[in-house]
Amino acid sequence: MGKYASRTARNLPPTEIVPAVLAMLCRDLYDIPLLVTLTKLAGDHPALAPARLMARRIDVLEPKVRAGVVDAIREAADLAIQLDVGLRALPETIERAETPESE
């Protein structure tokens, strides 16, 4: 899920974002509702709290992203990349949380 959400975000050019690229970004972020999908896949697992926060923020940015507001686009793209990184690291995060601290 993170891979598809971040696909265009990872490749955004540092200069102007042309309409075709913006359309691709919107498809990646908003064709499938991220927060709803996360909840459906993983329920309320506490380890997913950071990911749910990021997904909720991406959803909130949708109107500005679609309107082409550059700051909103960059923020949503960064969040998508962080979401992907966080989801990939999830097994390790859960394992660390569940391993009792050594004395």
CA distance 43 to 30: 20
Our finding on whether 8 is near other proteins (CB under 8 A) is yes
Residue 35: which residues within 8 A CB-CB, separation 6 or more? 52, 55, 56, 59
AA identity, residue 66: R
> Tokens representing 45?
């697992």
CA distance 24 to 29: 9
Our finding on whether 74 is near other proteins (CB under 8 A) is no
Our finding on whether 45 is near other proteins (CB under 8 A) is no
Q: Choose the binding region for other proteins from 13-21, 34-42, 59-67, 70-78 (rule: CB under 8 A).
A: 13-21
Our finding on whether 3 is near other proteins (CB under 8 A) is yes
Tell me the closest approach of the beta carbon of residue 27 to other proteins, in angstroms: 9
Tell me the closest approach of the beta carbon of residue 44 to other proteins, in angstroms: 26
Give the footprint of other proteins on this chain (CB under 8 A). 2-4, 6-8, 10-11, 13, 20-21, 24, 84
